[in-house]
């Protein structure tokens, strides 16, 4: 049944009509005047009722869709999503409805009965909910486009002597993708296909690092970056970050390579501010260091304008590392490294000596996905999926200090250290897996030379269903209020 909408739009107000409409619908869903599972009028019908253009309604619906308030199935309408925020003492069962069974494929979720969301249980039973970071939503992958790409890719003839640069056709397709999605301008000779961002960093280190060279990693930061750099004989130097990303003023002057995540600092979540970007490039020019820009999840952002990759500021001192691990799945094993052509040549030559390569079929499949526009469509679909999960996190935990919630597929929840440790242990007994920020530091607990040590949880929402995210975050919310007393 379609509901009557409580909407009154004011054409003389400064606020755009679509913003007014979205705001009033949001308020109605928040305070329960519109309930989960109820169907909204079609955009055409609502435009007629309210006397505005259909574009206004579509924009409002799209905004609410991205925030997770609405869900829809093509051809069958738009529904109020099951976004009820449970009270701290009553938390919900995981979605028992279609979403979990259908594997969450795409944005076409069916309406969920509002009754499902308010069933009180004391403890989560029967399933483990994994809210550890680093996992994308792979259940949404098995689409006709994906199967077609792999079928076609399987017809390629493998090379007897693989090119260490990777398939030229994929490199060509990537020049276009990187320019429009990440503002990275390069030619084919500036791209080398890798198995992922970490593999790209390893190849860079294998080419550039001499034993005893000092290399920088963010602190807290991505542990595998420090591991591969260390394994190539470098002395790994932790470099502090804050909510605006790397603290450039604190960088040493003698680093050979600096690994950094400027689009979405891992794991704290800040975006490197514009002045720091300029300062970072100036630092690299001055010191001769190479910036290894790890853009592991730059495609996912919410409610914020896209920020192009740092690479564009100075391709001479930056090596850009991209990956399909987050936009697709780590198991696909395709990524890319973009650098000055002379450096790409050196890396390719070194790679040949290491007999390191990317398998041809995944490369060909990725090229087909790119050329047919299927990768862009997949990313758009995943962006909407993740926006819904993120909205569920914010609905449950928005009253706490959240960081990095405008991008990627994880957020940081700042909490006192003692609360965090007890919370993780207690949540595990209830079937919810969480991690703290602590393992992302290289210095011992309680210390953070050059910066303030952040404590709290890193919540990954990529690998769980919206229902699981909601259930897990409701448990976190309840435990925080219990443990904080």
Ligand X SMILES: Cc1ncc(COP(=O)(O)O)c(C=O)c1O
- Among 50, 198, 318, 430, contact with ligand X (rule: CB under 6 A): 198
Residue 20 or 261: which CB sits closer to ligand X?
Answer: 261
- Does 323 sit near ligand X (CB under 6 A)? yes
- Does 330 sit near ligand X (CB under 6 A)? yes
- Does 479 sit near ligand X (CB under 6 A)? no
Q: Give CA–CA dist 274/26, Å, rounded.
A: 33
- Does 293 sit near ligand X (CB under 6 A)? no
Please, which of residues 220-239 interact with ligand X by CB under 6 A?
222
Pair of tokens at residue 315? 């391709």
> Site size for ligand X, by CB under 6 A?
13
Residue 271 or 478: which CB sits closer to ligand X?
Answer: 271
Q: Using the rule CB under 6 A, give the single segment among 29-37, 99-107, 139-147, 323-331 that binds ligand X.
A: 323-331
Go through 195-206 and write b for each residue having 16 or more CB atoms within 10 A of its CB, e for each that does not: bbbbbbbbbbbb
Pairing of strands 456-460, 245-246: unpaired
Measure the CA angle with vertex 96, ends 94 and 102; round to 5°.
Answer: 110
- Does 296 sit near ligand X (CB under 6 A)? yes
The minimum distance between CB 361 and ligand X, in angstroms, equals 18
Crossing angle between the packed helical segments 17-30 and 54-67, to the nearest 10 degrees: 40
CB burial of residue 304 (10 Å; 0-12, 13-18, 19+): exposed
Q: Using the rule CB under 6 A, give the single segment among 185-193, 243-251, 271-279, 322-330 that binds ligand X.
A: 322-330
- Does 266 sit near ligand X (CB under 6 A)? yes
- Does 196 sit near ligand X (CB under 6 A)? yes
- Does 363 sit near ligand X (CB under 6 A)? no
> Cα dist. 473→86, 91, 127, 235, 426 in Å?
10, 9, 15, 39, 13
- Does 294 sit near ligand X (CB under 6 A)? yes
Q: Using the rule CB under 6 A, give the single segment among 196-204, 383-391, 399-407, 437-445 that binds ligand X.
A: 196-204
> Which residue in the shown chain puts its C-beta closest to ligand X?
196
- Does 463 sit near ligand X (CB under 6 A)? no
- Does 387 sit near ligand X (CB under 6 A)? no
How many Å from the N-terminal Cα to the C-terminal Cα in the chain? 44
Q: Give CA–CA dist 299/315, Å, rounded.
A: 20
Residue 95 or 438: which CB sits closer to ligand X?
Answer: 438
Express the helix, strand and coil content of the chain in percent, nearest 5 each. Answer: 40, 15, 40
Binding-site string for ligand X from residue 127 to residue 146, where x marks contact by CB under 6 A and - marks none: -------x------------
Residue 5 or 226: which CB sits closer to ligand X?
Answer: 226
CB burial of residue 160 (10 Å; 0-12, 13-18, 19+): exposed
Measure the CA angle with vertex 322, ends 317 and 323; round to 5°.
Answer: 160
- For ligand X, the binding residues (CB under 6 A) are 134, 196-198, 222, 261, 266, 294, 296, 323, 325, 330, 335
């Amino acid at each position: 049944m379609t509901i009557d909408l409580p909407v009154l739009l004011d054409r003389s107000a400064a606020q755009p009509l679509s913003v007014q409409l979205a705001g009033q619908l949001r308020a109605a869903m928040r305070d329960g005047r519109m309930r989960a599972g109820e169907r909204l009028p079609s955009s055409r019908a609502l435009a007629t009722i309210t006397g505005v253009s259909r574009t206004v309604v579509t924009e409002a619906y799209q905004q609410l869709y991205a925030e997770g308030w609405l869900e829809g199935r093509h051809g069958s309408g738009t529904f109020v999503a099951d976004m009820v925020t449970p009270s701290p003492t009553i938390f919900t069962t995981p979605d028992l409805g279609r979403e979990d069974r259908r594997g969450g494929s795409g944005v076409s979720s069916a309406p969920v009965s509002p009754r499902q969301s308010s069933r009180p249980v004391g403890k989560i039973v029967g399933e483990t909910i994994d809210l550890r970071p680093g996992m994308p939503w792979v259940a949404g992958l098995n689409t006709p486009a994906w199967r077609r790409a792999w079928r076609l890719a399987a017809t390629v003839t493998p090379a007897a002597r693989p090119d260490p640069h990777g398939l030229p056709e994929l490199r060509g397709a990537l020049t276009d993708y990187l320019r429009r999605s990440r503002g990275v301008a390069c030619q084919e000779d500036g791209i080398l296909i890798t198995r992922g961002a970490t593999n790209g960093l390893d190849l860079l280190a294998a080419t550039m690092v001499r034993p005893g060279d000092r290399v920088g990693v963010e602190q807290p930061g991505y542990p595998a970056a420090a591991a591969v750099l260390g394994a190539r004989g470098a002395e790994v130097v932790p470099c502090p970050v804050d909510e605006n990303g790397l603290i450039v003023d604190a960088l040493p002057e003698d680093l050979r390579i600096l690994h950094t995540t400027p689009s979405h600092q891992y794991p704290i979540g800040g975006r490197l501010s514009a002045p720091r970007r300029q300062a970072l490039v100036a630092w690299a020019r001055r010191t001769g260091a190479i910036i290894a820009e790890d853009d592991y999840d730059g495609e996912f952002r919410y409610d914020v304008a896209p920020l192009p990759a740092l690479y564009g500021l100075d391709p001479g001192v930056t090596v850009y590392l991209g990956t399909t691990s987050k936009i697709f799945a780590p198991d696909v094993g395709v990524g890319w490294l973009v650098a000055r052509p002379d450096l790409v040549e050196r890396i390719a030559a070194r790679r040949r000596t290491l007999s390191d390569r990317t398998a041809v079929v995944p490369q060909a499949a990725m090229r087909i996905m790119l050329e047919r526009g299927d990768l862009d469509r997949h990313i758009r679909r995943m962006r909407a999926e993740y926006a819904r999960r993120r909205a569920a996190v914010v609905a449950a935990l928005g009253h706490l200090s959240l960081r990095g919630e405008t991008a990627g597929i994880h957020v940081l929840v700042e909490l006192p250290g003692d609360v965090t440790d007890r919370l993780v242990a207690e949540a595990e007994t209830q079937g919810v897996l969480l991690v703290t920020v602590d393992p992302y530091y290289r210095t011992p607990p309680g210390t953070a030379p050059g910066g303030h040590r952040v404590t709290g949880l890193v919540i990954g929402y990529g690998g769980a269903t919206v229902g699981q995210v909601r259930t897990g975050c409701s448990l976190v919310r309840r435990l925080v209020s219990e443990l904080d007393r």
